[in-house]
Amino acid sequence: MRYSSEHKAKTRERVLKEAAKEIRAKGPGNVAVAGVMARAGLTHGGFYAHFASKDALVKEAIGTMFADARARTDKIDPDGDPRAVLRAYVDFYLSPAHRDSRDRGCPLPTLSGDFARSQPETRKRFGAGVEAIASRLAEPLAQLGYADAKAESRALLAQLVGGVALARAVGDPGLSDAMLADTRESILRRYELEVR
Amino acid sequence: MRYSSEHKAKTRERVLKEAAKEIRAKGPGNVAVAGVMARAGLTHGGFYAHFASKDALVKEAIGTMFADARARTDKIDPDGDPRAVLRAYVDFYLSPAHRDSRDRGCPLPTLSGDFARSQPETRKRFGAGVEAIASRLAEPLAQLGYADAKAESRALLAQLVGGVALARAVGDPGLSDAMLADTRESILRRYELEVR
DNA sequence: GTCTTTATATTATATGCGTCATATAAAAGG
DNA sequence: CCTTTTATATGACGCATATAATATAAAGAC
């Protein structure tokens, strides 16, 4: 059946959004085309009217995932006091809430393992997302006087990503909380972000 | 056909070793029982004489993976100068060689994403491996005077893991090298591990 | 109002995989 | 030397999945 002309674009967007959520939650290998289409309220047959293949869907969904995650930090004003900005990013990233919402949070901790095994083209898009986040962290670091703020931001991002990845993977809840808290403490001390 | 009495144990070990390699390289979801058995020189049918299920194999292989990775740092004498010990760990972990040998290196950067989606029992074993590595990093940190060396070691491990995970996932080789180098520089500076 | 176009649905095909029942052959025990 | 035991092999079943060919029905054009 035919719907109004923008219907297809809307549907495509819906499929992409569902895919982005499910991929983060389950990993690209564990999402099925049929499942994504069902969540979008459609049957799996129509999928290939929107995307050439499952790989193409995954590749496109990467952009959606990074956009989703970025939206969660939109409340943070990047032009505020650099220490406050940095602290807001760190507090959010290493929060239990972020750890516990795999399907809505940053794709890096969940998916870097999976995409390390993916096609170069897919990894390139992932790399662009990494650089985009690093650039945002680099701004307050530059204001704090770091000569090579971009390099420092990559090191900080690595620590944030590793902290959340490990906190999600260890079984013991106490250890998981400790991973987040200890990582956060170390960062706050290093950049002198404590509230005194 | 029947072989000498210790043959079964040897075979089991071989299967486990191949599984540990393949799981790190491809992720647990992308390894097939038949493939692991073929690498061990057997056909897939005999698998269930050794393991109750694929899940059981994966669970057991976690121990093998951590042992494999630990063996690669055995040259480092943990009783040497704490700065030298720490630096040796960091240099190894963030080396391009470690990044490029997914099937033999530390399981944390490759698999924390996958195991975040696994059964609690599996994640518990993974968590034990995390704590074991953190404990080894904590020793030199304690000698350097860190009051809560265990907490500091978790923060450091997070950064090491994140650095390697991101370096493996980004497509651009230059960015990948930068991820390793920038993360390493930041750590060396923080703990004053530079050779002067 | 009829015709054409097209977004979505139905159905089919092929493949890969986990699991297991059964077969085989060689070692160990008598 | 014959029997029993058991490590591994063969083959089959069932399920999930990616892909694609075809069907359907409604929107837009004339």
Q: What is the CA radius of gyration of chain B?
A: 19
Instruction: Kindly determine whether residue B30 and residue A112, on different chains, have CB atoms separated by under 8 Å.
Output: no
Looking at residue A9, what is its pLDDT?
87
Query: Nearest Cα to A165, choosing from B25, B120, B139, B154?
Result: B154
Q: Round and report the angstrom distance from CA (B28) to C1' (D9).
A: 25
Residue count of chain B = 196
pLDDT confidence of residue A5? 66
CA end-to-end span of chain B: 64
* Residues sharing a CB contact under 8 Å with residue B154, sequence separation 6 or more, in sequence order: A166, A178, A179, A182, A183, B134
Which tokens is A60 given?
A: 């496109």
| Helix ranges (DSSP H) in chain A | 7-26, 33-39, 54-71, 82-93, 96-99, 107-115, 120-143, 149-169, 173-190
Q: Which pair of tokens denotes residue A48?
A: 């290939």
How far is it, in rounded angstroms, from Cα A142 to Cα A32?
A: 43
List all residues 6 or more positions away from B51 whose beta carbon is below 8 Å from its beta carbon. B15, B57, B60
> Mind listing the pLDDT tens digit for each residue in B12-23?
999 999 999 999
User: Which nt sits closest to A43, CA to C1'?
Assistant: C9
Q: Which residues contact A133 (CB under 8 A, 6 or more apart)?
A: A66, A70, A106, A108, A157
Q: What's the confidence (pLDDT) of residue B8? A: 84
Strand D nucleotides below 7 A of a protein CB?
Answer: 5-11, 16-22, 24-28
Q: What is the DSSP letter of B145?
A: T
Q: Is the pLDDT assigned to residue B72 strictly greater than 90?
A: yes
CATH number for the domain running over B7-53: 1.10.10.60
Note whether A96 and B143 are within 8 A (CB). no
**Distance, CA of A169 to CA of A165 (rounded, Å):** 6
pLDDT at res. A8: 84
Check if residue A39 sits with its Cβ under 7 angstroms from strand D.
no
Selected from 3.20.20.10, 3.30.70.560, 1.10.10.10, 1.10.10.60, the CATH number assigned to the domain covering A7-57 reads 1.10.10.60
Cβ–Cβ < 8 Å for B78, A81: no
Mean pLDDT of B104-125: 96
Identify the closest residue of chain A to B174 by CA–CA distance: A127
pLDDT of B75 reads: 94
Query: What pLDDT, on a 0 to 100 scale, did the predictor assign at position B2?
Result: 63
pLDDT at A137: 98
Q: What is the pLDDT of residues B12-62, one digit of tens each?
A: 999 999 999 999 999 999 999 999 999 999 999 889 999 999 999 999 999
At residue B166 the predicted structure's pLDDT band, cuts being 50, 70 and 90, is: very high
* Minimal CA separation from A35 to chain B, in Å: 18
A14: Cβ contacts below 8 Å, ≥ 6 apart:
A40, A41
Joined together, the tokens standing for residue B129 give 């491996």
Q: A121 to chain B nearest CA, in Å?
A: 7
Chain B closest-CA separation from residue A51 CA (Å): 23
pLDDT tens sequence across B183-194: 999 999 999 998
Q: Which of B166, B184, B189, B193 to mutate to test the interface with A (most CBs of A within 10 A)?
A: B166
Measure CB to CB from residue A158 to each of B127, B171, B179 and give the nearest one.
Answer: B179
Cα distances (Å, whole numbers) of residue A65 to A71, A130, B20:
10, 12, 31
- CATH code for residues A72-190: 1.10.357.10
Q: Where are the domains of chain A?
A: 7-57, 72-190
pLDDT at B112 over 70: yes
Walking along chain A (196 residues) 10 residues at a time, the average pLDDT comes out as 74 94 96 94 91 95 95 93 97 98 96 96 96 98 97 98 98 97 98 82
Give A151's contacts in chain B (Cβ within 8 Å).
Answer: 178, 181-182, 185-186
Residues A162 and B157: beta-carbon distance below 8 Å: yes
